[in-house]
Structure 1
Amino acid sequence: MNRQSAPSLQSLFGGIIAALLVVISFNSFVVINPGQAGVLSILGKAQDGALLEGIHFKPPLVSTVDIYDVTVQKFEVPAQSATKDLQDLTASFAINFRLDPLQVVDIRRTQGTLQNIVAKIIAPQTQESFKIAAAKRTVEQSITQRTELKQDFDDALNARLAKYGIIVLDTSVIDLTFSPEFARAVEEKQIAEQRAQRAVYIAQEAEQQAQADVNRAKGKAEAQRLLAETLKAQGGELVLQKEAIEAWREGGAKMPNVLVMGGESHGGGVPFLFNLSNVETQ
């Protein structure tokens, strides 16, 4: 009986050992996928040299590998600052960044997880970078020079995060708001400018109307001058007489059949006889 159980125990132990060897062999390697970087720690101590994509050996049972996502990450970070003219300026930034795969060991040693990186590094450095950019210009310049404001912010943020192994790919200004007092001042300024523009338009319109009146007066004076010259010329009386008859007809009054004008009372000229029946409308 004992002789039969001994081989059984040996087989059992052999199976256990084989299973342990299999487990250990599988635990001796780690696969780093594309977009990842790993940090090998042995007995709790991070080892130099990041584990990049591929398969890597690691001591079994006594080591662990922390995996970091090194693809593009996006976080929205609020920031607040005072401008050059001491006005409050609030902004919200969308920051696209990724971790430098070659520096994940230092990141593991100093910051730990990605959440710690955002909370302890990116958020406060965003705030400081915004203060640097906002302090260079007034609140009004921050509006009119928004591109320059963002460029100053990007330069400051890139310089500050690079030393932590964080690569900034792009930033976007989601929102830029001002104090209620400044918003009211801007509105009042716009209203004043609109009123001033309206006043200029009215003045220009009045000037154009006055010039038109002058031109009309000049035209009327010129017409009267030409008429006077016409009347002085030979036959001028005939012009007047014809205009008088036309005015008489247009007035609607009954006209005589024969009208005599001129005579000796008008400088001795030949009397002018006009048969009005000829000019009546048929």
Structure 2
Amino acid sequence: MSLSRILNSIGGVGFGLIVAGSVANSALYNVDGGHRAVIFDRFRGVQEHVVGEGTHFLIPWVQRPIIFDIRAKPRNIPVATGSKDLQTVSITLRILFRPKQDKLPSIYTNLGIDYDERVLPSITTEVLKAVVAQFDAAEMITQREVVSNKVREALITRAETFSILLDDISLTHLTFGAEFTQAVEAKQVAQQEAERARYLVEKEEQVKNASIIRAEGESEAALMVAKAIGEAGEGLVELRKIEAAEEIAANLAVSRNVVYLPPGQQALLALPQ
């Protein structure tokens, strides 16, 4: 056998190995953790069985894997709607969702790989509008937990018709229109003014009561003094004079430039200096 034939034989074997390796590689696919696969067959369509995690075989060119993420994923959906008393309400709903594993072939056939984009915004808006319309703006604040529970129950039921599981639903943002906000602020200001006026009225009432009590006390004291004078006669008057004289003498004793002379010697003041 010539060298050229040997090289041609080796080249043919190498090419065959490359082709075989390429075919074998295209016949394998991986499904990562937290994912599932649905097989699309060009002749039979979407297969009903769901492929789990690991490395699997398929028929090249004939079959193609569609990989779904089955882990719970969050999504925030803002909705603007009207309350029972026609107030504008802006709500943001946070949803934690995932698809039903055994329904993945049906989800892919009817909705596609972007099933959440097609379903969640529309059903969330529908449910929120229906629930919020049952409450007025004030009840939306005071009964927020009740509103949240009603939204959760209705939305879970609605999502199940599309084979979507909702693990968590919560109202993360709730605001009202400018007119309602201004009305609430005005009401708070009015309540504060009413409390202040009530405090002032109570204060004036207390001052009035104190004045009455003081006047009654002074009147009673005057009556008692008059009664005492009437009973003691001139003796009480003399006592008051003595007490006044003692007070004046005490004040003069501590004053400067005051000279005291014995009785009968006041004439010494008239002597020439």
Give SS of 1:50's match.
Answer: strand
Is residue 203 from structure 1 mapped to residue 201 from structure 2 by the alignment?
yes
* Partner Cα distance (1:155, 1:71) in 2: 22
Give the alignment partner of residue 241 of structure 1, picking from 225, 238, 247.
238
Give SS of 2:51's match.
Answer: coil
Shift of 1:205: 1.4
Gaps of 5+ in 2: 253-262, 264-273
Other-structure match for 1:267: none
Structure 2 vs 1, CA of residues 249 and 129 (structure 1 numbering), >3 Å: closer, same or farther? farther
* Partner Cα distance (2:68, 2:248) in 1: 104
Other-structure match for 1:30: 29
Normalising by structure 2, report the TM-score. 0.78
Structure 2 vs 1, CA of residues 243 and 86 (structure 1 numbering), >3 Å: closer, same or farther? same
Identity %: 27
Other-structure match for 2:161: 163
Structure 2 vs 1, CA of residues 64 and 251 (structure 1 numbering), >3 Å: closer, same or farther? farther
1:181-208: per-residue Cα shift (whole Å, max 9, x none)? 2222222222222222222111111222
Other-structure match for 1:214: 212
Is residue 87 from structure 1 mapped to residue 87 from structure 2 by the alignment?
yes
Shift of 1:221: 3.5
1:76-133: per-residue Cα shift (whole Å, max 9, x none)? 211011111122111222322222333222221122123xx33321111111121122
Normalising by structure 1, report the TM-score. 0.76
Other-structure match for 2:150: 152
* Partner Cα distance (1:248, 1:106) in 2: 117
Q: Say which is worse superposed, 3-12 or 191-200, in terms of deviation.
A: 3-12
Is residue 174 from structure 1 mapped to residue 172 from structure 2 by the alignment?
yes
Structure 2 vs 1, CA of residues 49 and 238 (structure 1 numbering), >3 Å: closer, same or farther? farther
Shift of 1:59: 2.5
User: How does 1:25-174 map onto structure 2 within 5 Å?
Assistant: 25-43=24-42, 45-114=45-114, 117-174=115-172
Give SS of 1:214's match.
Answer: helix
Gaps of 5+ in 1: 256-276, 278-282
1:131-175: per-residue Cα shift (whole Å, max 9, x none)? 122111101211222222222222222221122222222234333
Give SS of 1:59's match.
Answer: coil
Other-structure match for 1:19: 18
The one-letter code sitting in structure 2 at the alignment partner of 1:153 is V
* Partner Cα distance (2:244, 2:65) in 1: 114
| Contact kept? 1:36, 1:67, Cα under 8 Å | yes
Give SS of 1:121's match.
Answer: helix
Structure 2 vs 1, CA of residues 247 and 70 (structure 1 numbering), >3 Å: closer, same or farther? farther
* Partner Cα distance (2:233, 2:129) in 1: 89
1:219-245: per-residue Cα shift (whole Å, max 9, x none)? 333434444454455x57544433344
User: Could you say what the CA RMSD is over the residues aligned between the two structures, in angstroms?
Assistant: 3.1
| Contact kept? 1:133, 1:150, Cα under 8 Å | no
The one-letter code sitting in structure 2 at the alignment partner of 1:55 is T
Give SS of 1:168's match.
Answer: strand
| Contact kept? 1:41, 1:47, Cα under 8 Å | yes
Give the alignment partner of residue 189 of structure 1, picking from 184, 187, 190.
187
1:41-74: per-residue Cα shift (whole Å, max 9, x none)? 1117211122222333322331111112222322
